[in-house]
Amino acid sequence: MTERSPPYQAHPPTEHLSGSIERVTFHSEQSGFCVLRVKVRGQRDLVTVIGSAASVTPGEYLECQGEWVNDRQHGLQFKALQLRSVPPSTIEGIERYLGSGMVKGIGPHFARKLVHAFGERVFDVIEDNPDELRKLPGIGPKRQARVTGAWAEQKVIREIMVFLQSHGVGTARAVRIYKTYGDASVARVTENPYRLALDIHGIGFKTADAIAQRLGIAADSLIRAQAGVRHCLQEVAGNGHCAAYREALAEQAVALLTIPAPVIEQAIRAEVGEGNLIEEPIDTRPALFLTALQRAEQGIAAGVRRLQLRLPVWGHIDPERAIPWVEGRTGLALSPSQRSAVAAAIKGKVTVITGGPGVGKTTVVRSILDILAAKGVEMLLCAPTGRAAKRLAESTGREARTIHRVLEFDPKAMAFKRDQYSQLKTHLLVVDECSMVDTALMNQLLRAVPTPAAVLLVGDVDQLPSVGPGSVLADLIASGVVPTCRLTEVFRQAAASRIIVNAHRINAGRLPEHAHEGPADSDFYLIPCNSAEEIQDRLLRVVLERIPQRFGLDPVAEVQVLTPMNRGGLGARSLNVTLQQRLNPSSAPRVTRFGWTYAPGDKVIQLINNYDKEVFNGDIGRIAAIDEEEGLVLVEIDGRRVEYEFGELDELSLAYATSIHKAQGSEYPAVVIPLAMQHYMLLERNLLYTAVTRGRRLVVLIAEPRALAMAVKRVGSNLRLTKLRQRLIEAAADAPGLEDETP
């Protein structure tokens, strides 16, 4: 019989180590992993401690159990198996602790004041006698309230974090949970952890599922199966689809949850029964919709039908007279296709005008607006993004706003003030960049349009569809229900631009014209490369040297790198780190949160819609300042300064490089596009076409020839599953004849 070693010999005995945290070299809010430099009694040099903690702050006192390890790269370290930090008790530690920015409103300068005034009593003063703070110069009621409020919040958050960290939630997410649920956080999480995936930005199903299992919710329970089914359908919606075929969704849920198929079928029935999902066929195949998306599709079809029931409020306008009049007024002769588009719009109630760059969409829209303005027609102009609205205003000479501003979005109520009960005051609504408008937003927009009014939808249907679910513009055109004018003729002036010529070549399935350098005045360059490494080398030279030297463009403010993916060596994340090091290497102060390090001068992009701040997914800005005292980052976006607390920085990422999807609706003076076989999964014609058409003055395409050929050739492999086209056709078939509402 083999003798077994005693259990305690399986691991070396642990040691105890304690000291004050001098510096937090690294801390991941997501995983809790940290690298700390600790001052330990009896040790002359600082000790490196690695471990995991919910929260670590310079100045705190550290108690840990672990073992010494000799890392090949970093040398001797203490690997903490258990790590606990407590507020410091020494004057020096308290000052460092308070000055670290952990409490909003207290930075290094104010921390020094507090410690000098109150010494070791400072924590008690803040918590129990906050009025004493007012004795200090420069501390008024407002600042006192901020400090005491932030301290109280920190205390509650720490208690909640102990619970959440023990169930796998990192510090930053714990803060968001607290801000959403308040003091009821622990109760809410315990009651139904799957709510986190629905309610908290940055927490996905996997995190919620891990918490649920730690709380003892059975792996094959119905509550888990229902949450998993809904999560799978939300993932489908996140990829742009409005629905999923029932069979495919069930298979996806079984694979995700490893739950028997009968339990998943029961969960689907329960979700449908509770009204979270709606089941109906698409082309005779059973499909499932998230309820909100199914209702939105129905709303769009009903809205189009309602508007088409009546003639325009301005009555009959004779195109044979109106078009020569507007040509004489503008001095521009319209082409036959442009004349048809103008005629359709002044006669119609819902009209689509589509076409690529250089085909005269702007001229058509301006002509329509001039004709209708002469008739006294009231009009509203809007676009999905601030930049697109600004371009629309510049091109038409009329005020244009974002769709959210037109609909008067109320961030407190998270609802639009303009809807079917309080409609817009207009005779004509013009919506530009319509390919970007998703199903939910188009439904909100049409609900707010009064029945006598007309709608003009303008966009390029060959671009990428909206980031949100649906392909509204394509479905409207494909239905045949809405009069559509497709402009295809590239005008002579536009044809001088190689950007426009090559955009149309790509859209027609042809490779862009091959030129390493092109003529001296060219605005389009194609640089072939043999590998991803060569693409990166050329990209850095182009951005940092060639474009600034040859075209005089600022590499941060005026050059945008657009890449198909976020991950990988040529993904947005990796390129951002490299470009930041080269373009903004030594700025201070710096702040590191959520895996990014930010400094004044950095270019950043907003990742989600934040209605309180009035900044939206895809907005790009520059960091103007970092206020360590207040724990704030100030970002300049479209001429105004927006404040972000350090805990909100997961709403931003660096933007020296962005994904092509994030660039929809935006234009940049210069665009640099890397295209490699590592982007294989996303290489499609509309992706490349969208990227090329983002460049206003210059486009540089740096590509592996195989990747470029694949992108030009591939069409429609990612077609979105929707039922809108069918709903539009059915609604039109049910509609009665037109009524004339002419006054």
The answer to whether 242 touches 723, Cβ cutoff 8 Å, is yes
**How many helices (H) does the chain have, and how many strands (E)?**
27, 28
The answer to whether 575 touches 555, Cβ cutoff 8 Å, is no
Side by side, which strands form the sheet with 285-290? 243-245, 285-290, 277-282
The answer to whether 118 touches 641, Cβ cutoff 8 Å, is no
H or E segment to which residue 21 belongs? strand 15-27
3-class DSSP assignment, residue 539: helix
Say if strands 454-459 and 350-355 run parallel, antiparallel, or are unpaired: parallel
Known binding residues are 358-362
149-to-57, 152, 510, 666 alpha-carbon distances in Å: 19, 5, 62, 40
Contact residues for 577 (Cβ-Cβ < 8 A; gap 6+): 654
The answer to whether 230 touches 257, Cβ cutoff 8 Å, is no
Task: Burial-class residue 743 by CB neighbours within 10 Å (0-12, 13-18, 19+).
Answer: exposed
CB atoms near residue 700 (< 10 Å):
23
Known binding residues for ATP are 358-362
Distance between CA atoms of 66 and 18, rounded to whole angstroms?
A: 11
Distance between CA atoms of 572 and 655, rounded to whole angstroms?
A: 8
Distance between CA atoms of 719 and 684, rounded to whole angstroms?
A: 11
The answer to whether 425 touches 378, Cβ cutoff 8 Å, is yes
CA-wise closest residue to 484 among 344, 360, 356, 367: 344
CA-wise closest residue to 661 among 456, 359, 438: 438
Q: What ranges make up the beta strands (E) of 319-371? A: 350-355
3-class DSSP assignment, residue 457: strand
3-class DSSP assignment, residue 123: helix
Distance between CA atoms of 97 and 94, rounded to whole angstroms?
A: 5
Say if strands 379-383 and 428-431 run parallel, antiparallel, or are unpaired: parallel
Which runs of consecutive H residues, i.e. helices, occur in 183-318? 185-191, 195-199, 205-214, 222-238, 246-257, 261-273, 291-308
Phi, psi of 5 (to 5 degrees): -70, 145
Distance between CA atoms of 121 and 109, rounded to whole angstroms?
A: 18
